[in-house]
A and B are shown apart, each in its own frame.
Chain A
Amino acid sequence: MTGTLARVDQDFPALAQTIHGQYPLVYLDNAATTFKARPVIAALNRYYSQESANIHRGVHTLSQLATERYEAARATVQTFIGAEQVEDIIFTSGTTAAINMVAQGFVRKRLSPGDEILITEMEHHSNIVPWQMLREQTGAQLKVAPINDLGEVRLDAFAEMLSPRTKMVSIGYVSNALGTINPVKQMVALAHRIGAPVLVDAAQAVATIPVNVTDLDCDFLAFSGHKIFGPTGTGVLYGKQAILEQMDPVFGGGDMILSVTFEKTVYNHIPYRFEPGTPHIAGVIGLGAAIDYVTRIGMETIAAHDRKLARLAAERLSTIPGVRLIGEAADKTSIASFVLEHAHPHDIGTILDNHGVAIRAGHHCAQPVMQHFGVEATARASFSLYNTERDIDRLMEAVLKVKEVFV
């Protein structure tokens, strides 16, 4: 039941524009955020123009309709990531909020001074800083499993760093700076051998490879809506039921309670106790539409496409004298990160933009990765389902222009 990627560009209105009045846009900054699919925009539009009501509390028609659509999105996410039950899906404002919720609501109370949290050297800052905050609050240690010079986690070192003191493991699925796909299933199994729960940061994975929480056996998984063609300000925290029952809400408020008196408040059931206040209703419905969209195409189809473009881009960029690829993992997808002799990544980014090619230049919120490779920043082209080999032609032409300026 896989679909095709032919004419998929028609589904993303933002692709059809020119930059500096003359260059058709080539958007290669998908690891920062993806463009929004027409069904997503239509869902937002429908909510705001017709079905604009609050959820879980109204008896009127529109409130019931909004509630149905919001909860339908939860079921869509459940199916998409292979969760056992719909109650395992919590809507958040993004991956960052989800990781912080786990850190403060689940991990914090389980930590004593000297306990350990294990992450890897290739994490995004959002999977580093929440644990550093926890370290300050509890006296626990933050351990970092190193990567090799290809940009792969050293599994032997990771396994050795797991100990009875390890109270939490939090690992990225796909590196946003390198494109490395980590052997997460294997890492979860290793962590579970010593009884440590595992959070998988799937922010960069979810739009580019199939993700199945039951197969991974992870305890938590987080992702953001905006990286899978959905609205910004939306995200998902998945948790196993038995684990979520041990997690405390970090924020209190309306909709997360069953009853409130000044003496005692009884929390609502899971997942509602973790969704206080009026959520991003339109955004969640839009995220559901985004997931329906990629499901119609098929994640296997998308995964093969993104992998192929990343490999092709790396092959072609490496033919340019002076180019050094950053991140050459055997298993990687969707990202080509590189530096160019005599040209700083920001200058590359500006000149590429002058030719209508949008990439990211910087440390990609992963400064430890930059330090590992001895660079301050890289230029990063990141691919998605609507990119084509012609986009790589344009990237190559523009990089050669950079070479002309910075001989």
Chain B
Amino acid sequence: MNITDELYQQVILEHNRHPVHFHTLGDATHKAEGFNPLCGDRYWVYVRVDEKDLIDDVSFTGNGCAISKASLSIMTEAILGKSIEYTKDLFGRFHELVQGNSDDADELGELAVFGGVAKYPARVKCAALGWHTLMGALNRSQDSVCTE
């Protein structure tokens, strides 16, 4: 596989073209905006958490590069129906993956396609933007997350 195909795997291209859960969520219990001022990528993440601390529904809107958009799309699939605790742990493992420090990439399911990002330090922030925004929403600590 050449270096371009290694980064832009078909799964990423498909989620970029046709992102899932790509809409607003009227009854969200948590939401946050994520912005990368360097490239102008900007997203909103919406989460509805139920009384058992499970992510009952999740969605996103916004625009940016293929890496950031696909990452958000795949993230929403990975956390739907999962607990907040699981989600935070998954974020940690995803972060290790894109930093090139992961040894359990196979256990990350579809998220593993972002392993190629580790070779592009300038693009790690693209892959992580959605996750940082999600954490901002869940922690309710801030309404806007900036990756610079």
Contact = CB atoms under 8 A, between A and B. Distances in A.
A191 interface: no
Given A346-B123, A350-B123, A354-B3, A405 B39 contact: no
Given A347-B8, A354-B4, A362-B39, A405 B120 contact: no
Contact of B66 (A20, A363, A376, A406): A406
A347 B70 CA distance: 12
Nearest to A355: B4
B90 interface: no
A376 B41 contact: yes
Interface residues of B, number: 21
A209 to B, nearest CB: 29
A346 B42 CA distance: 14
B4 A405 contact: yes
Interface string B57-96: 0000001111100000000000000000000000000000
A361 interface: yes
B123 to A, nearest CB: 6
A343 B65 CA distance: 7
Interface string A344-376: 111100110010000001110001001000001
B120 A350 contact: yes
Contacts of A351: 4, 8
Contacts of A26: none
A401 B2 CA distance: 12
Contacts of B39: 345-346, 361-363, 376-377
A347 B7 CA distance: 10
A306 to B, nearest CB: 27
A344 B66 contact: yes
Contact of B3 (A20, A362, A377): A20
B13 interface: yes
Nearest to A398: B4
Interface of B: 2-4, 7-8, 13, 17, 38-42, 63-67, 120, 122-123, 126
10 contacts: A20-B3, A347-B66, A351-B4, A351-B8, A354-B2, A354-B4, A354-B7, A401-B4, A405-B4, A406-B66
Given A350-B7, A350-B120, A406-B13, 13 more contacts: A344-B64, A344-B66, A346-B39, A346-B126, A350-B123, A361-B39, A362-B38, A362-B39, A362-B40, A367-B40, A376-B39, A376-B42, A406-B66
Interface of A: 20, 342-347, 350-351, 354, 361-363, 367, 370, 376-377, 401, 405-406
